[in-house]
Chains A and B, each alone.
Chain A
Amino acid sequence: GAGVSQSPSNKVTEKGKDVELRCDPISGHTALYWYRQSLGQGLEFLIYFQGNSAPDKSGLPSDRFSAERTGGSVSTLTIQRTQQEDSAVYLCASGLALPNEQFFGPGTRLTVL
């Protein structure tokens, strides 16, 4: 069956531009997570969606970051007015609610020039 997919796989943008990153979770998975991995760093939690509950946004680093999940399926992570420090790999994962296993997408590599 299809796994978690993310698009684009790579995104190069100029400082100050807005970007949208997309995640298609595995069908039937109620939980969806966004993580960030900066070069040489560990994984950092950004945001968590679980069913129809209000998302846990406590990991978002600034108000330039936002995410939505439409119809309990596809999610979009938006970064406004990108900065060079936003350059990282953005990973999406889906699963049933924690503590169950999460299935990771291939990530989107964002480079802000």
Chain B
Amino acid sequence: KNEVEQSPQNLTAQEGEFITINCSYSVGISALHWLQQHPGGGIVSLFMLSSGKKKHGRLIATINIQEKHSSLHITASHPRDSAVYICAVVETSGSRLTFGEGTQLTVNP
């Protein structure tokens, strides 16, 4: 069992739909990161969370430390949101990121 699990693995949506990607983890963490990997391979950091909720434009990330769960929401999705979204955690005692397998999002016009 992976320490970080994401669902769904693949997600197809129509433009304008509200999207949720989930991340569950099994270890104690000091922070959780959401990353976006574009089709060309470049990786961009979207959020770093240690509690609560953060919002940036149409993206919202939440984390529940007690339940060891985080969600990434995209409102009014657009084809340019098509990418792989990766959840990664920083273990409390660790010095590295542990990654989920990623969620492939495709938004159709």
Of the 9-residue stretches B20-28, B53-61, B66-74, B98-106, which lies at the interface with chain A? Answer: B98-106
Q: For the side of the interface on B, what is the size category? A: 20 to 34
Give the interface SS of chain B, mostly helix, strand, loop or mixed: strand
Q: For the side of the interface on A, what is the size category? A: 20 to 34
Contact B97 A102 (CB under 8 A): yes
Contact B98 A45 (CB under 8 A): yes
Contact B43 A48 (CB under 8 A): no
Contact B31 A42 (CB under 8 A): no
CA distance A45 to B86 in the complex (A): 14
**Is the C-beta of B12 less than 8 angstroms from some C-beta in chain A?**
no
Tell me the B residues contacting A by CB distance below 8 Å: 30-31, 33, 35, 41-45, 48, 50, 86, 88, 90, 94-102
Which 5 residue pairs of A and B lie closest in terms of their CB atoms, listed nearest first? A99-B31, A104-B43, A99-B90, A43-B99, A42-B101
